[in-house]
Amino acid sequence: MLRPLQTNSSRIPTAFYEQHDTLTLARLLLGCELVHDSPEGLTAGVIVETEGYLTGDPACHAYRRPTPRNAAMFGPAGTLYVYQIYNHYNCVNIVTGPEGVGEAVLIRALEPTEGIDLMGVRRNEAFRTGFARYRNNTIDPTTPAGFRNLCNGPGKLVIAMGISRQEHNFASLTTGPIFVRAAEPLPDSDVVTTTRIGITQGVDLPYRFYLRGNRFVSKW
């Protein structure tokens, strides 16, 4: 028998995604928990690092035109956009802006809070089934280093959370198994704003946000 979805009461509703612009959401999502109530178990982590990708922004996948890859970005706010990068990893975005407008918030790092063991199992499984040269690697989530390395990067957190392009691209955060738990808004002083990571266009735009002093961000 299927378990009921847990903690639906704190799931962020559609209106929240609709009522804020992309950069505001990128800030507001910090401190909230990303949750995946999957068949294997529930995993969750506090969002500690985000990036905004906007219309007219050359680094945005939707900058040029709608394509099969970026189609989810043009969906309604609160949709998931999952894309493959470097042919090894996937990154997860929360689609923002009105339907027909291609904007999104990239989730770059989580501080794990629930399902730590499952995260470790998934990350080790990815090693085992990944490149031959990495097959003997392991992550021990009971050690400080292993714990810290579970979700401190956009490709890592997708693995740890059990998110896949096939299953979750186009998924709704307001009705699906992946959702965000609301949190109290953080004071501006807790949020650091910088330029984005790993891009070649729009490199000077200050669209990256992370929690000040947090040890789980991808780079600091």
Partner DNA sequence: GTTCCGATTATCT
Partner DNA sequence: GATAATCGGAACT
Contact, 212 vs 193, CB < 8 A? no
Which of positions 124-163 make contact with DNA (CB under 7 A)?
131-134, 137, 149, 153-157
Minimum distance from CB of 65 to DNA (Å)? 6
Instruction: Pick the closer one to DNA by CB: 8 or 137.
Output: 137
Hey, is 204 helix, strand or coil?
Answer: coil
Distances (CA, A) of 139 to 133, 147, 196: 15, 8, 27
Q: Which helix (H) or strand (E) holds 52?
A: strand 41-53
Instruction: Pick the closer one to DNA by CB: 104 or 178.
Output: 104
Minimum distance from CB of 38 to DNA (Å)? 20
Q: Which residues contact 98 (CB under 8 A, 6 or more apart)?
A: 18, 76, 77
Spell out the alpha helix ranges (H) of 36-110.
Answer: none
Minimum distance from CB of 199 to DNA (Å)? 5
Contacts with DNA, 78-107, as mask; x by CB under 7 A: ---x--xxxxxx-x-x----------x-x-
Residue 74 sits in the site that holds DNA (CB under 7 A): no
Instruction: Pick the closer one to DNA by CB: 15 or 85.
Output: 85
Minimum distance from CB of 166 to DNA (Å)? 11
Minimum distance from CB of 5 to DNA (Å)? 26
- Could you list the residues that contact DNA (CB under 7 A)? 51, 53, 59-62, 64-65, 67-70, 73, 81, 84-89, 91, 93, 104, 106, 108, 123, 131-134, 137, 149, 153-157, 196-200, 218
